[in-house]
Amino acid sequence: MNNSNHTGLPENYCGRILSGKFSDELKQRVSELCHVFNNINDIGSPAMLYLSAWKEDEKIIWYEHIDRRFASLLGCDCRQAPECLRKAIIDWRVYRYDDRINPEIHEEILTREELKNVRYGLRKEVEKKGSAEAIYKIAMPGGKICWLKDQASVETFSPDGICLSLGTLIDVSKEMAQKDLLEKIGFFDELTKLPKRNILHRILEINIGQYERKHIDDFSFLMMDIDYFKSVNDTYGHQAGDHVLATLAEVMTSCKRKEDEIGRYGGEEFYGVCIGNIKSSFEFAERLREKIAAYSFAYHEQNIPVTISIGVAAASEFIKVEMDQLIKLADQRLYKAKQQGRNRVVGS
């Protein structure tokens, strides 16, 4: 089967190595792979194959070969694919575990902006390891979400200073959508629609990881409790109490930024994770407290006064951030806020 065009280059070739000043060894390898990939595409492989390349000392990456289906998915031609992919990425996920020590799978998530800042370092890691595996969440034209599993091996051509990534992309949208659905069922509180306590470990794990890798400068954990909530149930009834909890969740959610998190810890206790220095986290907690104190919690034409107390603890207060110690410090400060008269925020 002849997979070359009239220029002598492989069919669908969109790269720069075969027409550039590179070694014969590198050119031969690229030409062989492009022909092999074209043949595999012709037999209808469900995987989308690609061959990407980059110079070891540069950040720019390009494709020598790319499956037409992938370019079509991004709504562009093959030469535009690297830039279109960078713009389409919502997040990048890698899953790690060591079944000899701990069978639990750890999910590392980087947003598009975070990925932009560490892409060069990740490529160096891939070069050293010789392989890569990750899942990309991308926004396709029209707003539809697609998940692509990327598996690749890496070859280095030192005389040229070039690395080649021989990869496959497989659409795993159905599997990831099912995973998200199961997480929403298991991790979100039915009454308040907020993340429950059993997802808190994962939220803090992600933020601690981002803090330790210096992707964020600081973050704080907030422990919040409704003041005198028992008297709300005793005076107005448990349905009124449920109404207060659900409305409180809506009020707090309206105050947070996209990167912050609000969840239900249990009963009348809530938690928050605020990205930024401790001053901004304290100000965020104060906004929550003031908004709730001023809000009219009406149930069956009865106005129910509601206030909250908040304890704030920042990651930067610790030499080594430990999840349990962060929660414990915020809880101690919440208790102090209660002791000092409630309806207040206590931080460092």
Which residues belong to the active site?
A: 268
Q: How far is CA 208 from CA 33, 222, 310, 337, in A?
A: 41, 15, 21, 26
- Residue 305 Cα to chain centre, angstroms: 38
Position 311: which residue type? G
Note whether 222 and 285 are within 8 A (CB): yes
Q: Dump strand ranges (E) for the chain.
A: 48-55, 61-66, 89-98, 102-111, 131-139, 145-157, 162-171, 219-226, 261-266, 269-275, 297-299, 302-304, 308-314, 345-346
Q: Strand 308-314 and strand 345-346: pairing?
A: parallel
Alpha helix ranges (H) inside 43-132: 68-74, 81-88, 112-129
Residue matched to tokens 């022909």: 35
Residue matched to tokens 């933020």: 207
Q: How far apart are CA 288 and CA 155, in angstroms?
A: 53
